[in-house]
A and B are shown apart, each in its own frame.
Chain A
Amino acid sequence: MSTAAIAPELPRESRMHYLNANFGIKSWLFTTDHKRIALLYLGSITLMFFIGGFGALLMRIHLLAPEGWLMSPETYNKMFTMHGVVMVWFFLIPSIPTTLGNFLVPMMIGARDLAFPKLNLLSWYLFIAGAVVALAALIAGGVDTGWTFYTPLSTLYLTTHVLSTATGIFIAGFSSILTGLNFIVTIHKMRAPGMTWYRLPLFIWSLYATSIIFVLATPVLAITLLLIGVERILHVGIFDPALGGDPILFQHLFWFYSHPAVYIMILPGMGVVSELVTCFSRKRSFGYTLIAYASLAIAMLGFLVWGHHMFVSGQSAYDALIFSLLSFAIAVPSAVKVFNWTATLYKGSISYQAPMLYALGFIGLFTMGGLTGLFLASLAVDVHVHDTYFVIAHFHYIMVGGAVMAYLGGIHFWWPKITGRMYPDVWARLAALIVFAGFNLTFFPQFVLGYLGMPRRYAMYPPEFHWLNVLSTAGASILAVGYVAPLVYLIWSIRYGPPAGANPWKASGLEWEESPSPPPTENFETIPIVSKEAYHYAEGIRAHP
């Protein structure tokens, strides 16, 4: 019986693939294989996610009591800054592009690797260098500017580790730029014969749009952080009103990067959802071209809405009016996507595998986050809820309910391809439901809190907000369970999971149809010739019988 169990294992294990092509720590640290680099990134950003998430959990525990009981207000300030810096720059921005993107861009377009494999490895080292510098600053005592580094607070008044944290972000920024550059060139130049632009999976379109933002927005952040450094070291007044500078200009430059950065976080997630929705409803994507163009439209319009962060910062009323209008405009391509996903589901043969649960969760939560974004884009409403928990809830619905849900959905979807193993489906479905429930319990009360007037970034609050805060903290602990569970069963599956086979979901796409799981180092035996549209699903056949 034992021999029978081992016998079918042998041929599978003897096949060469990217994981067993060579061994040892050097074969990983000096690899130029995009799939291995994706796994290096996966490990690093998972670590950062749990560091940032732990900070969030501590904050929620602190806010269990109205007067705050766990830490001093100063520590609380450092805690939310740490949470923001780690989550934004070291998890959300690199999350989907550097892991799933790195793994899938060459595989989906039928290439052997990215156009610049060494640059790809360099970008991982830059990311690690930036993360180490930023984490060292946090361990050395932390920084309490908030993740936005507003001047003159960050340049004049604080003696905390502003400079070293900013240096870490500056370095990590170049990692983003190189990744974006690599993707754009790869998508333009490395497509397999027959892989026309309109046969590309929508995930590729969304990463293309994301990469445009990477290369055009990140340099502006870099120069802004450099100027903060110059101002702090030389005590000159670039942003200091006492020396003739203008602190609002800092906000303009900062949000010129950081608003498009929001779309860096959500666009790849939208791409993942397009893949999941089509696969698990066995249908072509409704409105393929519209979704593809919507990605580009979001990338373009994303550069024109930064002023909506500054409605109460003293910019002119006309500016505010235009930025408000443009912010409404960017809701259109986002809504185009949501309607198209919904139309794809309509009359589809839907099956509720774990990745699909995440995708459906994404659609609902992203819609909530997007619609409350319209509240905030309206000038008068924004004045009322500005800097309250309403804003916190809004962007967490996008960042966590949207981006993280899509990230987890994508990891679950492509895990069999990445590792060659299946994870226990029951656990995965349960975890998806726990995440969904925990998320809503955490953040929905924050909409109410914000509307009632609870300001963000305070270590304490009036007693009348108590029960809503308790609900939110309870939700956060449930959410934590939902995030730890995949860590456990996915790692378990690497060793004990059943072999997945080349295409366990019967999905379309070159990575599924033309390559085994895990793929060989060179991705394809011969470069495939593409003759079909993306998502050529025969309707009526489910992903799982």
Chain B
Amino acid sequence: MPTPDIGNAESAAMEPAARHAGLQEQFEDAGQQRSAAELGMWIFLATELLFFGGLFTLYIIYREIHFEEFKQGSHLLEAGFGLAMTALLVTSSFTMAMAVRSAQIGKRKPLVAFLLVTMLFGGAFLGLKFTEYHVKWTEQLVPGLRFSPGGERLQGARWQGVEMFMCFYFFMTGLHALHMIVGIGLLGVLAILSCKGRYTEGHFTPIENAGLYWHFVDIVWLFLFPLLYLVRGA
């Protein structure tokens, strides 16, 4: 009987059993892994904040320089669109929070369901967004590509300032939409993994982190909405 082999096989089987299945080898215990992943996510969000921060700074400065034109540009957007999208996103944040809660208490079915619902709201947001882009395209309000506004709404405005406003509108909401697409993809992967039972009461950090990301993207929109759609005077 090959006794030494059995001994090896036993100790090899023992060792991973001593560590949690999802525990990576560089970590000593699950608590360390979890707090590292959380801190990593918060730092990532800080970089995102600076990423958008540069844009917000430029927007605010140009708004000061081209005050009238930016006001005029803002009137070219339908606040109704913005309001509907805001409602969708805020609701999606609620369902996301519910998904995280379901993961924490280890309820698999509600977790998958809430993830899917969140994706659905996110998808609806993107649908509205691209409808709005399409409307701007037909109104010939896409800077650089198709910008020849002829209507009387633009009378008296230096069209450059308005074009710049539209430029910021497309760039900022476009970048935000890109983050939404990434977020929906991420939730899709997590939904599949949750279905397979990857996440348990003791191991749900990826869901929490996805939640942090989703709320962050949501909060960016909560600043974009008033800046672009609402702050425009009479």
Contact = CB atoms under 8 A, between A and B. Distances in A.
Contact of B163 (A115, A236, A253, A522): A236
Interface stretch (A47-55, A244-252, A470-478, A481-489): A244-252
A220 B48 CA distance: 9
Given A216-B46, A218-B47, A222-B51, A244 B26 contact: no
Given A236-B143, A236-B144, A115 B50 contact: no
A439 B59 CA distance: 45
A191 to B, nearest CB: 10
A154 B143 CA distance: 20
Given A222-B51, A223-B51, A236-B144, A181 B40 contact: yes
Contacts of A10: none
B6 to A, nearest CB: 24
B47 A177 contact: yes
A238 B160 contact: no
A243 B160 contact: yes
Interface string B25-45: 111100010011001100110
Given A113-B26, A189-B35, A237 B47 contact: no
B160 A244 contact: yes
A405 to B, nearest CB: 31
B145 interface: yes
A234 interface: yes
A392 interface: no
A111 to B, nearest CB: 7
A224 interface: yes
Contacts of A235: 144
A117 interface: yes
Nearest to A177: B47
Given A234-B145, A236-B144, A238-B58, A185 B39 contact: yes
B53 interface: yes
Given A113-B26, A219-B50, A527-B28, A236 B164 contact: yes
A230 interface: yes
A131 interface: no
B211 interface: no
Given A189-B36, A215-B46, A249-B58, A117 B26 contact: yes
Interface string B188-216: 00000000000000000000000000000
Contacts of B61: 246, 249
Nearest to B46: A215
A114 interface: yes
A233 B36 CA distance: 40
Contacts of A227: 58, 171
A220 B51 contact: yes
B158 interface: yes
Interface in A99-121: 106, 111-117
A26 interface: no
Interface size band for A: 35 or more
B136 interface: no
B36 A115 contact: yes
A238 B66 CA distance: 12
A495 interface: no
Contacts of A112: 25-26
A220 B160 contact: no
A249 B58 CA distance: 8
B18 to A, nearest CB: 15
Interface in A180-217: 180-182, 184-186, 188-190, 215-217
Contacts of B57: 253
A224 B54 contact: yes
Contacts of A182: 40
Given A114-B26, A220-B51, A190 B32 contact: yes
Contacts of A186: 36
B216 to A, nearest CB: 13
B55 interface: yes
B77 interface: no
Interface in B1-25: 24-25
B32 A220 contact: no
Contact of B43 (A215, A237, A244): A215
Contacts of A111: 26
A161 to B, nearest CB: 21
A214 B154 CA distance: 44
Interface string B61-94: 1100110010000000000000000000000000
A188 B43 CA distance: 12
B167 interface: yes
A40 to B, nearest CB: 18
A230 B58 CA distance: 14
Nearest to A186: B36
Contacts of B51: 219-220, 222-223
Interface string A298-318: 000000000000000000000
B161 interface: yes
B121 to A, nearest CB: 27
A181 B43 contact: yes
Contacts of B27: 115, 190
A253 B174 CA distance: 21
Contacts of A236: 143-144, 163-164, 167
A491 to B, nearest CB: 31
B68 to A, nearest CB: 12
Contact of A219 (B39, B40, B54): B54
Interface in A243-271: 243-246, 249, 253, 256
Nearest to B66: A244
A190 B47 CA distance: 22
A132 B69 CA distance: 42
A190 B37 CA distance: 12
Contacts of A234: 143-145, 167
Nearest to B147: A236
A111 B52 CA distance: 34
Given A115-B36, A181-B43, A238 B164 contact: yes
Interface in A139-197: 177, 180-182, 184-186, 188-190
Contacts of A222: 51
Contacts of A230: 144, 167, 171
Given A249-B58, A253-B54, A243 B164 contact: yes
Nearest to B145: A234
A190 B32 CA distance: 8
Contacts of B161: 244
Given A188-B36, A236-B163, 6 more contacts: A112-B26, A115-B40, A189-B36, A215-B50, A234-B167, A238-B58
25 contacts: A106-B26, A112-B26, A115-B26, A115-B40, A181-B47, A182-B40, A184-B39, A188-B39, A190-B27, A215-B43, A216-B47, A217-B50, A218-B47, A219-B48, A222-B51, A223-B51, A223-B55, A236-B143, A236-B144, A236-B164, A237-B160, A244-B66, A244-B161, A245-B62, A246-B65
Which 3 pairs of residues, A with B, have the shortest CB-CB distance? A234-B144, A113-B26, A219-B51
